[in-house]
Every structure is written in structure tokens, then in C-alpha cells.
Amino acid sequence: MTRFEALLESHLAGALTPDEQREFAGLLTVDENRRVFDAHRRTARLLAGVSLPPLYPTFTEEVLARLPEQRAPWWERLWDAFWAPRALRWNLASAVALSLVIAASPLVWKAWPGRPPEVLEHSSVVTVVRFNFEAAGARQVALCGDFNGWQPDQIFLSDTTGRGHFSVTLPLKPGRYAYMFVVDGASWVTDPRAEAYRDDGFGNQNALVTIDDRDLDHGET
């Protein structure tokens, strides 16, 4: 770039200092420089009458995308598809909406009525067990154990004979259960004819009943 061209560029940009203006005026006395200057001035006048539309943000990307390019092999395109950086266009409204969705989704999942119940334990077999207890003179006998969360007012034995022979049947899943009888709502009594016993830690013996898992018949032997 010559000195005149540099000064011309600054002149068109309106950035000449007073010293440079004097130097530029001196150079314009040369005919060749004068012709170039006039040509630029005419072009500038023409452009001043043209209204330019504002460029939209993706103009450059779209122009570049339309440019013809050599077709790359499929593995390179696949690689690019995975690793090529992409511009994420977002606004505050969509960001707020996305954040709300992220925040609310666990609650929706928790409360969704159609969600199947969580299976904690699977057992296809329930064994019906009869509990018997002799308590002549007792008005009420309740059965209480691991199987009912030790609720003393839930399972009552019935005396069908009227002679103090109380019994109740209960469906139980495979497992081992500790239990006791509660006579007349106050007295805790260990089953005297249980198959096994265990110290309850509170000074009494719990009776034990074991329900074998019939599924074992089909499992490991």
C-alpha cells in the first residue's frame, strides 16, 4: 500500500489528522492520485444512496453452508456429526421452562398414578397357618408378631367350641416369624407348643414359626 492509498483510506474513514490532511492535499496535486480520489468519491456517493438491509445473526453460517464443498467420506461425516461444535440458540423463556421441567420431573415421576408399584420382595407362595391356643376362662385372645408389626389389637383368635380352645388361620409368606399371644388385652403369653423359641430381649420368650419357601423346590438343590 502506497502512502497515498493509506491516506486515502483514512480520508474516506474521516480519520485524517490536520498534518495528514495537509500531506493528503499535497499528494492530490499529482494527476494519477487525483483520478483515483475522484473515482473513490463517486463510488462513495453512489453507495450513500443505497439502503442496506441489516444482517441477521446466522447470515454468515447460512452463506457458508450454501457454498459447495467437496463431499467427505462417511466416517469423517460421522465423526463430524459427533464432534463438530454447534451453536446453541436460546432465550430466557426457554431456559426458565427447561429448568422448571428438570425441577418438576422427579415429583411427577413420584406422583404419577400409573407408575407400577416398586417390587421390594417377590414371593408367589403364601402358606396358610393355623395358630391354636388353650386359654380356659379367657374372654379374648389376640395374636401378635413380626407378621403384623406387633399390633395387639389386629388379629383375634376365636373360641368356636366355647371351651377355651382359641384358633385363627393366617396367610404367611415364607420367612421366620416371632409371635406371642395376648390374653384379655393385658397378659402376654408364649405359645407353649411352638416349634422353636427365642429370647425377646425384654425378659420373655417369643415363639417362632418358620414358613419354608416352596420356590426352593425349583431353585438350587
Partner 1 sequence: MARRKYRGIVLLSAMALSAPWCTRATAQELETRGELARVLERAELPSESKALVRQKAVEAVRAGVAERDVADLVQRGVRRNVQASDLVRLLDVVTQAKRQELPTGPVLDKMREGLAKQVPSDRIVTVAARVSGTLATSRDLVRRAERDGVRVEAPTERVQAIEAIADALGRGVAPTAVGELSRRIAEAPRDRATMARLNVGGQVTADLVAMRVSPREAVETVGAALAQGFGVRDIVRLRERLAQELKRGRTPDDGAARLRDEIRAERPEAREGSPEKDPSRDRPGRDREGPGGGRPGRR
Instruction: Return the range that interacts with partner 1 (CB under 8 A); candidates 10-18, 30-38, 47-55, 129-137.
Output: 129-137
- With CB under 8 A as the contact rule, the residue among 135, 141, 144, 183 that binds partner 1 is 144
- With CB under 8 A as the contact rule, the residue among 12, 36, 129, 189 that binds partner 1 is 129
The residues near 192 (Cβ < 8 Å, ≥ 6 apart) are none
Joined together, the cell numbers standing for residue 70 give: 467437496
Q: What Å distances lie between residue 100 and 25, 88, 96, 105, 109, CA to CA?
A: 66, 19, 6, 8, 14
* Residue 189 bridge partners (DSSP): 181
Kindly state whether residue 214 participates in binding partner 1, applying the rule CB under 8 A: yes
Determine the Cα–Cα distance for residues 3 and 97; give it in Å rounded to an integer.
59
- With CB under 8 A as the contact rule, the residue among 11, 167, 189, 190 that binds partner 1 is 167
- With CB under 8 A as the contact rule, the residue among 99, 115, 123, 156 that binds partner 1 is 99
Determine the Cα–Cα distance for residues 71 and 14; give it in Å rounded to an integer.
46
Q: What Å distances lie between residue 184 and 46, 135, 153, CA to CA?
A: 111, 10, 11
- With CB under 8 A as the contact rule, the residue among 8, 16, 141, 209 that binds partner 1 is 209
CB of 91 to partner 1, least distance (A): 8
Q: What Å distances lie between residue 212 and 16, 96, 142, 174, CA to CA?
A: 102, 56, 24, 5
Joined together, the cell numbers standing for residue 206 give: 417369643
CB of 58 to partner 1, least distance (A): 16
- With CB under 8 A as the contact rule, the residue among 132, 156, 158, 185 that binds partner 1 is 132
- With CB under 8 A as the contact rule, the residue among 152, 159, 173, 189 that binds partner 1 is 152
Kindly state whether residue 218 participates in binding partner 1, applying the rule CB under 8 A: yes
Determine the Cα–Cα distance for residues 127 and 176; give it in Å rounded to an integer.
12
Kindly state whether residue 92 participates in binding partner 1, applying the rule CB under 8 A: yes
Identity (one letter) of the amino acid at 159?
D
Joined together, the cell numbers standing for residue 159 give: 373360641
Collapsed DSSP state (helix, strand, coil) of residue 99: helix
Kindly state whether residue 31 participates in binding partner 1, applying the rule CB under 8 A: no
- With CB under 8 A as the contact rule, the residue among 85, 113, 149, 162 that binds partner 1 is 149
Kindly state whether residue 36 participates in binding partner 1, applying the rule CB under 8 A: no
Kindly state whether residue 201 participates in binding partner 1, applying the rule CB under 8 A: yes
Residue with cell 421452562: 97
Residues that bind partner 1 (CB under 8 A): 90, 92, 95-96, 99, 102-104, 106-107, 110, 121, 127-132, 134, 144, 146, 149-152, 167, 169, 176, 178, 180, 188, 191-202, 204, 206, 208-214, 216-221
